[in-house]
Amino acid sequence: MVLLKTQPRLDGSDIPGSEITPQSTYRNRREILAAAAKAGIIGSLAAGGLFSMTGKASAKALSGSKSAFSTTEPLTRQKDITSYNNFYEFGTDKSDPVANAGSLVTSPWTVEIGGACANPMKVSLDSLMAMAPLEERIYRMRCVEGWSMVIPWMGLPLAAILKKAQPTSAAKFVAFTSLADPKQMPGIKEKVLQYPYVEGLRIDEAMNPLSLLAVGLYGETLPNQNGAPVRLVAPWKYGFKGIKSIVKISFVETMPPTSWNRYAPREYGFYSNVNPEVDHPRWSQKTERRIGEFTRRQTLAFNGYGEQVASLYSGMDLMKLF
């Protein structure tokens, strides 16, 4: 993310030039998959990998209902979404996660949901996915470094999952924890951040309909480098809130620690709402470069999701509570 040794290249000069946006290809493919599903042959097609766009044998096709929260903006190329990543457990360069995350074992996978709730549970990924309807949500995503993407996530509404655990009135925040296994994650030994990576949301933020537990993108299970098998997506916040490879979700009474706040509290606050009016101490947040584009664009308050989330922060001084 944002270390002195890896200063973000705000001009995006490290990003390969755009090719044709594969949006139409993707949409065609979805229609083919839908037709295949109707004909009852989707399982065998998916298992045979005939439709895999990543070439990864492990990628499985996912389908879900289209969400009304989706943007209609052109999608970022699948290749860019899956090869330009921040996942420090696999190294600090944008190209490290795709190169190194093959060693992450995502099956079997268990997510523990506990803390201040009446129905704590430890569930397999399959059980988790059975707890809520899968949706496709095309979200704008904005990294604190100044780049953005439009990503077609497949995911479960976080609120639906959290409600199954029946949080008590003591549950004021939700704390998330990533896997931290140095045997699978070679970047951990570099000790750039403290591991496990941790993140948190206020309970009302977590329950907001925009909050998503993503399990896939571009109609397939998540590639490891994007946080397989399950990661958080909160599109009105900077990318680092989107904690990857989640093993634990916990209801807590006080504001939980978060990885980047711990690393540099002056630079990264708990809330981390996208806000063009609050500069990062080392650079402006007023504009961003959409990966695949050349002209910088204005960054929008709450990344353009103000209608859904601005009321969560009414009365708060967002200059101080950044």
Ligand X SMILES: Nc1nc2c(c(=O)[nH]1)N[C@H]1C(S)=C(S)[C@@H](COP(=O)(O)O)O[C@H]1N2
Q: Which of 295, 290, 270, 139 shows the shortest CA–CA distance to 205?
A: 270
Instruction: Map tokens 């904005």 to a residue.
Output: 142
Smaller CB distance to Mo ion: residue 143 or 198? 143
Q: Does 224 bind ligand X (CB under 6 A)?
A: no
Using CB atoms, what's the residue nearest to ligand X?
239
Smaller CB distance to ligand X: residue 23 or 37? 23
Site map for ligand X, 180-209, x if CB under 6 A?
-----------------x------------
Do the beta carbons of residue 197 and residue 243 sit within 8 Å?
Answer: yes
Do the beta carbons of residue 181 and residue 195 sit within 8 Å?
Answer: no
Smaller CB distance to ligand X: residue 36 or 141? 141
273 contacts: CB under 8 Å, gap ≥ 6: 236, 237, 238, 302, 309, 313, 318, 322
> How many residues does the structure list for the chain?
322
Q: Between the CA of residue 286 and those of 10, 22, 291, what are the distances in Å?
A: 12, 28, 16
Smaller CB distance to ligand X: residue 167 or 259? 259
Q: Does 250 bind ligand X (CB under 6 A)?
A: no
Smaller CB distance to ligand X: residue 173 or 176? 176
Site map for ligand X, 27-56, x if CB under 6 A?
------------------------------
Q: Does 143 bind Mo ion (CB under 5 A)?
A: yes
Q: Does 87 bind ligand X (CB under 6 A)?
A: yes
* Structure tokens given for 308: 């859904």
How far is Cα 212 from Cα 156, in angstroms, rounded to an integer?
6
DSSP symbols for 133-174: --EEEEEEEE-TTSEEEEEEEEEEEHHHHHHHT-B-TT--EE
Three-state SS at 38: helix
Q: How many CB atoms lie within 10 A of CB 282?
A: 11
Q: Does 178 bind ligand X (CB under 6 A)?
A: yes
Identify which range of 58-66, 111-119, 200-208, 239-247 contacts ligand X by CB under 6 A: 239-247
Identify which range of 84-92, 121-129, 167-175, 285-293 contacts ligand X by CB under 6 A: 84-92
* Site residues (CB under 6 A) for ligand X, limited to 132-151: 143
Burial track 174-212 (b if 16+ CB lie within 10 A, e otherwise): bbbbbbbbeebbebbeeebbebbbbbbbbbebbbbebbb
Q: Does 223 bind ligand X (CB under 6 A)?
A: no
- Total of chain residues touching ligand X, rule CB under 6 A: 17
Identify which range of 167-175, 240-248, 283-291, 308-316 contacts ligand X by CB under 6 A: 240-248
* Site residues (CB under 5 A) for Mo ion, limited to 224-263: 239-240
Q: Does 242 bind ligand X (CB under 6 A)?
A: yes
Given the rule CB under 6 A, which residues bind ligand X? Answer: 1, 85-89, 143, 178, 197, 226-227, 239-240, 242-245
